[in-house]
Structures are given as C-alpha cells and as structure tokens.
Amino acid sequence: MDVTQMLSDTGIRQSIEDAMRIAIEEAEIAKRKGENPYGAVLLDPEYHFCHKAHSQSIERSDPTAHAEIQVIREFCQIQKRVYLENYILVCSAEPCVMCSGAIKWAKIGQIYYSVPQNEINKISGGRLKPSCESLINSGTSQKVIGGKILLDEGLRVFEGFQFTPQDKLNK
Ligand SMILES: [Zn+2]
C-alpha cells in the first residue's frame, strides 16, 4: 500500500495524527529544555502507542541522541529486541541522515513526519539535506513514508527557534 491509500483510511489517519500531536508535544518539551526541537512516537503494528522521546543531545552529551534514535533505542532495550518490523514511527520533522539509517536498520514499516527538510532548511540555512525517503527506501526497501502531517502544528514548534552553532553548546 502507498501512503495515500494508508491515509485514506480514517482510522489510520486519526491514529497517525494523534501520535503526531504527541510527537509535536515532545518537540516542544525539547525546545523548552534548550535542545533542538524534535520529538518522535513509536506505534505498534496495530497503531497503538508504545513509546515517545525527544532530542536529548545536550542533556546526554551525545550528538546521536536525536528523538528518533532515542525512541527506537529505549523501546528496543525495554523490549529486548533488535527489529521493529511493521512498527510505525511518527516524527515531528523529517528524519535526518543518521536517523534514517537507524530507521532502516530497525526495519520500521511506516514512517510519518510533519515538517519536511526543505522547511527546516529555511531556518537552519546551508545546503538541503537528503530526503529521508531516498535513504530509507534505498536498496530493496519499500517502506510507506508520509510527510507534512499536521504541518501547521509542526511548523509552530520552530517559531522563534534558532539553531545554535555547535561551538556555542560546549561552553
Ligand atoms: Zn536525526
């Protein structure tokens, strides 16, 4: 099934949007803590809530502690498992290169995000990053990937936010 078919099911769309609101809430929590404003939610194959996380790079002194990595790492450790086949990941923004790799290795089945890379790029500047779809669906992968879910709510998190240069983080 492609993303349009998935989201034409009102039950599925509702579950994704409910999860997205939690992911956006997590992004707001990260922002208030001085982290980059990202959140992620993991749903099981029946679209039930499993776990949530936000960026914790500064709190953990760990550049890899992005919301998507945290939600995958924590849930896998709790569940003592390595793969999350048929699980659904809902992210407040399009996953970066590193997180797209983790999503691929975790074998997550569906990925939904709110704010796409090109919108983040308008705030962060620099050159446009690769799309998560080009990374997750490289090789033989054919995962369902949907963007711009609740985009207005997702964009609101970035209002007034400035990405701090890395050399300012380690005082
Ligand atoms: Zn990331």
Going from the Cα of 163 to the center of ligand 1, the distance in angstroms, rounded, reads: 14
Task: Give residues with Cβ within 8 angstroms of 121, minimum separation 6.
Answer: 128, 129
**CA nearest to 71, candidates 94, 38, 96, 46:** 38
List, in order, residues 6 or more apart from 9 with CB less than 8 Å away: none
- Model pLDDT, residue 150: 98
State residue 124's pLDDT score. 87
Q: Looking at residue 163, what is its pLDDT?
A: 83
Q: Which residue carries 């308008």 as its tokens?
A: 122
Torsion sign, CA atoms 142, 119, 159, 169: positive
Residues in Cβ contact with 146 at an 8 Å cutoff, skipping those fewer than 6 apart: 3, 6, 7, 16, 110, 111, 112, 113
CA distance to 43, 98, 110, per residue, from 84 (Å): 10, 17, 10
CA of 132 to the centre of ligand 1 (A): 10
What is the residue-level pLDDT of the chain in tens, covering all 171 positions? 789 999 999 999 999 999 999 999 999 999 999 999 999 999 999 999 999 999 999 999 999 999 999 999 999 999 999 999 999 999 999 999 999 999 999 999 999 999 999 999 998 888 899 999 999 999 888 999 999 999 999 999 999 898 866 555 555
59 CA distance to ligand 1 centroid (A)?
Answer: 16
Q: How far is the CA of 67 from the centre of ligand 1 (A)?
A: 7
Q: What is the pLDDT of residue 170?
A: 55
Q: Which stretches within the chain are classed as H helix? A: 3-8, 10-32, 67-79, 97-105, 117-124, 132-136, 151-156, 166-169
- CA atoms within 13 Å, Cβ hemisphere of 48: 1
The whole-number pLDDT of residue 123 equals 87
Q: Ligand 1: distance of its center to the CA of 99 in Å?
A: 4
Catalytic site residue from 68, 94, 119, 153: 68
Contacts of 89 (CB under 8 A, 6+ apart): 40, 41, 42, 43, 68, 71, 72, 95, 103, 108, 110, 111, 112
Q: Is 68 a catalytic residue?
A: yes
Q: Check residue 58 and report its DSSP letter.
A: T
